[in-house]
Amino acid sequence: MAYTASELLAVTSSRLLADHKIVFAGVGTPLLASALARATHAPNLTIVVEGGVIGLEAQPGRLPISTNEMRAGRRAVMLPSITEIFLYAQRGFFDYGFLGGAQIDPYGNINTSVIGPAERPRVRLPGSGGACDIISHCREILIVTTHERRRFVERVDFVTSPGYLTGGEARAQAGLLFGALTWVVTDLALMRFHPETRRMQVDALQAGVEVQQVRDNTGFDLEVPPVPARLSPPAENELRILRQLDPDRLFLGPIG
């Protein structure tokens, strides 16, 4: 069955979510991936939304388009304030955090603020929202984005959300003692961070993708294993459920 890059991102990231865990998910791909995981291998996954929802149960065809939309509260376990949500994050209650970004560097630092010099930017982006808190406090961070050279840069124009900073022990030395970046999911590869240098490296390739294709679309050197593992393509059942969740393709985008 054919699939789009957006569907591939959602399916690949959903497979990384384990049962009986708590995921702090934004709208779009993170929420789709979380809802897909609940409908397949992780029925006891708890979904948290920034606007003040714990235990979201997504209704197919009616996914919230904003973290503050009340349909996000459907059959929720709790509806606390946004302040309480981030207090729970600071206390270490959330296993996963999902993030995207306009730029990402080899150490997982994310830019969602400006493209170009901060004093005279070429493009102004939405900013942090809750992303800085999420990357600082959730136990594991999953970064999900399309794989483009303009996104994967040697140095981000602005550090909106701190990853491993300059690598090594820099994150801990800066006072970020909790949480870790674990996976970067793209439509070309699945990547993780070296346990000592904290630099991004390829873990596995998406089906049909070659190493040179990944290198050509990355603006920095990536360590690649001699024989990279291969990810399984989305299964028909995964795609069927995903398309039922978003039949109007508000988040999945057009086919073709």
Q: Which residues are catalytic?
A: 50
CA 199 to chain centre: 17
Between CA 177 and CA 182, with CA 181 as vertex, the angle to 5 degrees is: 130
Query: Structure tokens of 145?
Result: 């984005």
CA 147 to chain centre: 13
Between CA 47 and CA 51, with CA 49 as vertex, the angle to 5 degrees is: 155
User: What torsion do the CA atoms of 78, 59, 36, 164 make, to the nearest 10 degrees?
Assistant: -50
Write the CA distances from 154 to 50, 120, 200, 236, integer angstroms: 30, 20, 11, 37
